[in-house]
Structure 1
Amino acid sequence: MTSDVQSAVEGLLGAYESKTPIEPIADQFADQPLSVAYEVAQAQVQAWEKRGDVVKGHKVGLASRAIQQQMGVAQPDFGHLTASMFHLEHDPIAPDLYIQPRIEPEIAFVLGEPLRGPGVTVADAARAVDFVLPALEIVDSRIRDWKIGIFDTIADNASSGGVVLGSTPVRLSDLDLRLAGCALHVDGELVATGAGGAVLGSPLNALVWLANTVGPLGVTLEPGHVVLPGSMTKAFPIAAGSAIVAEILGLGSVTAVVGKDN
Structure 2
Amino acid sequence: MSSKIQHFAAKLAEAEVTRVGIDPLTYTDPDITVNEAYHIQLENIKKKVSEGRKIIGKKIGLTSVAVQNLLGVNEPDYGHLLDTMMIENGGTIFCETMIQPKVEGEIAFILKNDLKGPNITVLDVLQATDYVVPALEIVDSRIQDWKIKLQDTVADNASSGFYVIGGKPTKISEINLELIGMALYQNGEVANTGVGAAVLGNPAGCVAWLANRLADYDISLKAGEVILSGALSGMVVAKPGETFTARFAHLGQVSVNFK
Bin for the TM-score computed over the shorter chain: over 0.9
| 2:102–2:237 CA contact under 8 A, matched in 1 | yes
| 2:167–2:251 CA contact under 8 A, matched in 1 | no
Deviation, structure 1 residue 88? 0.3
Which letter does structure 2 place at the counterpart of 1:93?
I
Q: 1:95 & 1:174 partners in 2: Cα distance?
A: 37
2:215 corresponding residue in structure 1:
215
Deviation, structure 1 residue 167? 3.7
1:16 aligns with 2:16: yes
Deviation, structure 1 residue 51? 1.3
Q: 1:2 & 1:162 partners in 2: Cα distance?
A: 29
> Could you give the per-residue CA deviations for residues 100-157 of structure 1, whole angstroms, max 9, x where no partner exists?
0000000000000000000111111110000000000001000000000001000000
1:253 corresponding residue in structure 2:
253
| 2:106–2:134 CA contact under 8 A, matched in 1 | yes
| 2:183–2:246 CA contact under 8 A, matched in 1 | yes
Q: 1:72 & 1:191 partners in 2: Cα distance?
A: 26
SS of 1:109 mapped into structure 2: strand
> Could you give the per-residue CA deviations for residues 68-87 of structure 1, whole angstroms, max 9, x where no partner exists?
35555442100000000000
Q: 1:122 & 1:3 partners in 2: Cα distance?
A: 39
Q: 1:191 & 1:70 partners in 2: Cα distance?
A: 21
Aligned length: 259
1:205 corresponding residue in structure 2:
205
SS of 1:21 mapped into structure 2: coil
Q: Could you tell me which runs of 5 or more consecutive residues in structure 2 were left unpaired when the two chains were aligned.
A: none
Which letter does structure 2 place at the counterpart of 1:115?
L
1:134 corresponding residue in structure 2:
134
RMSD: 1.3
Which letter does structure 1 place at the counterpart of 2:172?
L
The within-5 A match list for 1:1-262 is 1-69=1-69, 73-259=73-259
Q: 2:69 & 2:141 partners in 1: Cα distance?
A: 17
Deviation, structure 1 residue 222? 0.4
- Say which is worse superposed, 41-50 or 67-76, in terms of deviation: 67-76
| 1:45–1:80 CA contact under 8 A, matched in 2 | yes
Q: Could you tell me which runs of 5 or more consecutive residues in structure 1 were left unpaired when the two chains were aligned.
A: none
| 2:63–2:230 CA contact under 8 A, matched in 1 | yes
Q: 2:110 & 2:145 partners in 1: Cα distance?
A: 32
| 2:180–2:196 CA contact under 8 A, matched in 1 | yes
Q: 1:128 & 1:47 partners in 2: Cα distance?
A: 29
SS of 1:229 mapped into structure 2: strand
Deviation, structure 1 residue 187? 1.0
Q: 2:3 & 2:126 partners in 1: Cα distance?
A: 42
Q: Using structure 1 for the length normalisation, give the TM-score.
A: 0.95
| 1:179–1:197 CA contact under 8 A, matched in 2 | yes
| 1:24–1:143 CA contact under 8 A, matched in 2 | yes
- Say which is worse superposed, 142-151 or 69-78, in terms of deviation: 69-78
SS of 1:257 mapped into structure 2: strand
SS of 1:42 mapped into structure 2: helix
Q: 2:20 & 2:222 partners in 1: Cα distance?
A: 33
Which letter does structure 2 place at the counterpart of 1:48?
K
